[in-house]
Amino acid sequence: MEPIIKIIKSASLATIVDKLKGRYPRLYAPVKKQELVELEVINGFNDIAQDYLLTTQSVKKLAFPRVEKILDYTLQKGNIQQQSPDTSNFPETVLFGIRPCDASGFRSLTAIFNGDKPDEFYKSRYEKLIIISFACNKADAYCFCTSVGGNPGNTEGSDIQFTPVDNDEMLVEILTEKGKAVADLFSDLLSDCDKPVDKQAYLANVPVVFDVNKVIDNTTKSFNNEMLWINQSLRCIGCGACAFVCPTCACFDIQDEQNMKQGARLRLWDSCGFSLFTLHTSGHNPRHIQSHRWRQRLMHKFSYMPEQLKVVGCEGCGRCSRACPVDMNIKEHLLQIAEL
């Protein structure tokens, strides 16, 4: 639908949150927890972090949880009962105050999960999400959304987007029908936008550092450039921090947890950075060293996904770089590849 543009007083945000909370008990917003900013169910406006760049973890956990039960079973002799969780009953969930790069990240996840045959769990959860994003008015050295096709005011994936503008006012973009229905809850607080607002002027400045098409081309060509990958990943310690905070990483593991009488089949986050990710039962590991795993990570996002799913598997949020224990800055590495 054609976006509806409105203006709202920043002071009204608390009222909006109250109204949303009244209608949607599962209202998630960034919450400050010591060093972390986490997306959590809030009780009221005061719970929301006042000053944050991004949540530490991405929002993907709301559609692709860390631990997702996909099957229940009971074990009785000669009688094994199975039951899948009812995916039609996931509650409606509002994500309030997330960033544009998070909202647009669902594009990659949707391409992966719903590509050929929709993944029931992901699909049902994602459909129940109402995404109210806040455009970014600041960025840091790790941000590079503009280099991968995004921008601080990107509305893709959002149902409503708020952008702080002058005079304690916020620009409200109602982007989807879903967004419109939600905005009706606080339509009394919205005023018409009498003059055109230059949204761009209020957004953070995120310079473009590389040409993403160059990255795509060069990555694809560099599969056999062993030294490139070794040198880039020499300091990689092979943890899963980057994959787990990434809004688009979608690899998972399936595990059964059971005791003698019952069990559950779980879908769990996994990471291609782990040495055991590709380990065969035979003992053979096709990606036996970390550089191969690092190559896989970049190839997947910048070669395979663009080729097969027609999306770049990166939103430029920079979370992986921030979370990396050894300061592997992906922006640097991509720039190096672009300049090959």
What is the binding site for other proteins (CB under 8 A)?
34-36, 56-57, 61-62, 65-69, 75, 77, 85, 89-91, 140-142, 230-231, 233-235, 237-241, 243-245, 253, 255, 257-264, 266, 268-269, 271, 274-276, 282-285, 288-291, 321, 323, 325-327, 329, 332
* Nearer to other proteins among residue 222 and residue 275 (C-beta): 275
* Nearer to other proteins among residue 204 and residue 230 (C-beta): 230
* Nearer to other proteins among residue 201 and residue 260 (C-beta): 260
- How far apart are CB 105 and other proteins at their closest, in Å? 17
Backbone Cα Rg of the chain: 21
* Nearer to other proteins among residue 102 and residue 156 (C-beta): 102
Query: Residue 197: is it exposed, middle or buried by C-beta count within 10 angstroms (0-12/13-18/19+)?
Result: middle
* Nearer to other proteins among residue 171 and residue 243 (C-beta): 243
* Nearer to other proteins among residue 255 and residue 308 (C-beta): 255
- Euclidean distance between CA atoms 269 and 274, whole angstroms: 12
CA 66 vs. chain centroid, Å, equals 13
Q: Residues, the chain, total?
A: 340
Q: Which of 99, 29, 41, 93 minimizes the C-alpha distance to 63? A: 93
**Tokens 């003992």 -> residue:** 283
- How far apart are CB 261 and other proteins at their closest, in Å? 6
DSSP secondary structure code for residue 304 in this structure: I
- How far apart are CB 282 and other proteins at their closest, in Å? 6
- How far apart are CB 316 and other proteins at their closest, in Å? 15
- How far apart are CB 323 and other proteins at their closest, in Å? 4
Question: End-to-end CA distance of the chain, in Å?
Answer: 42
* Nearer to other proteins among residue 86 and residue 166 (C-beta): 86
* Nearer to other proteins among residue 154 and residue 321 (C-beta): 321
- Euclidean distance between CA atoms 151 and 207, whole angstroms: 10
**Tokens 């997947």 -> residue:** 300
Please tell me the number of Cα atoms within 13 Å of 117 on its side-chain side: 1
- Euclidean distance between CA atoms 232 and 218, whole angstroms: 15
- How far apart are CB 183 and other proteins at their closest, in Å? 26
- How far apart are CB 28 and other proteins at their closest, in Å? 9
CA 8 vs. chain centroid, Å, equals 27
Cβ atoms of 50 and 29 closer than 8 Å: no
- Whether the CA torsion 5, 6, 7, 9 is positive or negative: it is negative
- How far apart are CB 210 and other proteins at their closest, in Å? 16
